Structure 1
């Protein structure tokens, strides 16, 4: 990760502080398997520098923005860059305080406390990723207030207080407008530094495709970038819904092509067929046909 950050032109002072952080904090053997090598890299020097600066200052992050902006990819990348165990916490309307901090369980003939992911992050100095934080009820998230402010601790009713490890950080992600989302409580929002994630640029998407598919021809790398940018423009102008703006779907489509599926069929499977409105699906399919011939073979796309 450090080599990647240097290559991306991250300020040397930030990389130096990051190296000092990694040297200062070790990892308990029981959570060493949670230090992951990211599947994808996040590309965006400005966002990287903002996020690193905030976390090195001891702040917690809230990543906001529309679909396909790389919020979860960045969160995973940050945990790897800091060399910390990663605890993913997927939130929903059914999330309660016990599922976050833990609950009673029966073990060896006695009642003991079984830690939740927030408690584990606090104790082991992990990076807790609170995914889709605005889907959970505010009363469930109230348990985070004490952990995220100057107190830096969690009181577990009936047990003891857990003080946050100095390497512990929480990174929350949220999308606006998804079904089941709600306004985030002001008291909770004030405890985060907020980064508004921009849509992925054509240059950064090209880098992502090159790193994932090094044998993809430059011409087709450009074509897939243009397809995604045109989908982005249609979403911004409300011609189509955001369902079509699927970066995971684009990457899945290229993988299907590499397996031998025709480019047009792969794009339909990865992106087009996820749109259930017939009019929108036709618009997206027409966009594909402008860039990809029905007779195009998979072998032509790779070097």
Structure 2
């Protein structure tokens, strides 16, 4: 079977796709002008292309306007709404290198700003991702920002307000370059999350991400998994939306509603794994409770028989 070739989109390709979606040409021109005024320093971290193009004109225009006006952006929404995809798209379109920081309950100030370390027998400062990003004028994507303790996040306050700087012990004052932006993502539904404290929340503008629609999901499957047949895309789309509905009704957790898991299942099918097993590995078996797995499995059975073959799903 033909294996999937992963396409990656640079800023120009994303901009062209957004223009086709009807995104404001004036906003896109403003981004081009901003990028020309803020070139990336030679020899620094490269600007990374992305595997998918985010779709949603209103959301894109809101995000572009916020970043162009110098604001930091907080993307809020449930699972599978494209928060990280949008953040990566924005960085590529603005032509900025990205520092991705995945937050967790043990995150502390040193993990963000840096710490002293030994190098060649000497104590030197090893900058953390926030310091590196601030000094390079990049985009910092703080994934699930509400997972970290508020006392750890407090170090960001002076960096993200009008002061635009932070005092780092052992390193001195770090100033946020004018081209640097911070994009946070948060999901209220994950275990271990908490409310973002008011002081930090006030330093962001908030963009609420809409639920993934059938049209958007079909487009995502078409562009991200081009080897899928039309029937295969329609089947997987209906399956995913049915699992989403079960989650909305409180019958299963969000673990099975996993867009990454769906894409993983498609890739495994291309290597000969049966559709049922691929969906089970990528989605169903992420549910921890047996009863939940049974409910999710019953949903899958409505769309995919256990004896289905991969030929049904591919061109």
TM-score, with normalisation over the residues of structure 1? 0.95
Match for residue 251 of structure 1?
263
Match for residue 11 of structure 1?
24
Once the two structures are TM-superposed, the CA of residue 25 in structure 1 deviates from its matched residue by 0.9
* Partner secondary structure for residue 180 of structure 1: coil
Match for residue 21 of structure 1?
34
Q: Are 2:201 and 1:179 equivalent residues in the alignment?
A: no
Please list the CA deviations of residues 169-198 of structure 1 after superposition, one character each: whole Å capped at 9, or x if unmatched. Answer: 001111113222222110000000111112
Q: Are 2:283 and 1:271 equivalent residues in the alignment?
A: yes
How many pairs align? 302
Match for residue 93 of structure 1?
105
CA separation in 2, counterparts of 1:266 and 1:111?
Answer: 49
CA separation in 2, counterparts of 1:260 and 1:159?
Answer: 53
* Partner secondary structure for residue 124 of structure 2: strand
1:1-303 correspondence runs (5 A): 1-33=14-46, 35-107=47-119, 110-303=122-315
Q: CA RMSD in A?
A: 1.5
| Distance 1:123-1:300 versus aligned 2 partners, 3 A rule | same
CA separation in 1, counterparts of 2:133 and 2:160?
Answer: 12
Please list the CA deviations of residues 228-253 of structure 1 after superposition, one character each: whole Å capped at 9, or x if unmatched. Answer: 11111111111211111111111111
Once the two structures are TM-superposed, the CA of residue 108 in structure 1 deviates from its matched residue by 5.5
Is the contact between residue 116 and residue 170 of structure 2 (CA under 8 Å) also seen in structure 1? no
| Distance 1:19-1:293 versus aligned 2 partners, 3 A rule | same
Is the contact between residue 18 and residue 55 of structure 2 (CA under 8 Å) also seen in structure 1? no
CA separation in 2, counterparts of 1:297 and 1:109?
Answer: 60
Match for residue 5 of structure 2?
none
Is the contact between residue 134 and residue 174 of structure 2 (CA under 8 Å) also seen in structure 1? yes
Mean alpha-carbon deviation: is it higher for 184-193 or for 169-178? 169-178
Q: Unaligned 5+ residue runs, structure 2?
A: 1-13
Match for residue 7 of structure 2?
none
Please list the CA deviations of residues 74-127 of structure 1 after superposition, one character each: whole Å capped at 9, or x if unmatched. Answer: 111111111101001122222111221122234466543321111111111000
CA separation in 2, counterparts of 1:276 and 1:111?
Answer: 45
